[in-house]
Amino acid sequence: MCSVSDATEPDDAIGEQGRRVAVEVRVSTRRTWGSRLVSDPGLRASGVIIGDHNDVVAGAGAFGRDWALPRRWPIALDDGSLVFRNDDELEVD
């Protein structure tokens, strides 16, 4: 897991709203149904980013497949669930 100081590293990402996404930042994301994000924007879940997997995230070509690719951010949701999302799937609260 990353420390608080990691939140200022240059690998930080910018979320949908243009604000910094980093470890220990509170975010919201759409819920999932199976392996897909739910299209209804009202079905959102909030939580805190608990890690950064940027070192293992790569394009589909790196894995020889285009399915089950790793996502950058593990997020502990308020309801106790753990989800993984990429930068463009997050909004900073």
Closest C-alpha to 11, from 74, 57, 68: 57
Asked whether the beta carbons of 13 and 23 are under 8 A apart, the reply is no
What is the amino acid identity at position 16? E
Start-to-end Cα distance in the chain: 21
The CATH number of the domain where 21 resides is what?
Answer: 2.30.30.1060
Q: What's the confidence (pLDDT) of residue 11?
A: 52
Number of domains in the chain: 1
Q: Which domain holds residue 76?
A: 4-92
> pLDDT of the chain along its 93 residues, tens only?
333 334 434 455 665 555 689 999 999 998 777 667 777 766 889 999 999 988 877 665 677 877 777 889 999 999 999 999 988 889 998
Provide DSSP, 57-86: ---HHHHT-SSS---SEEEEETTS-EEEE-
Give this prediction's pTM: 0.69
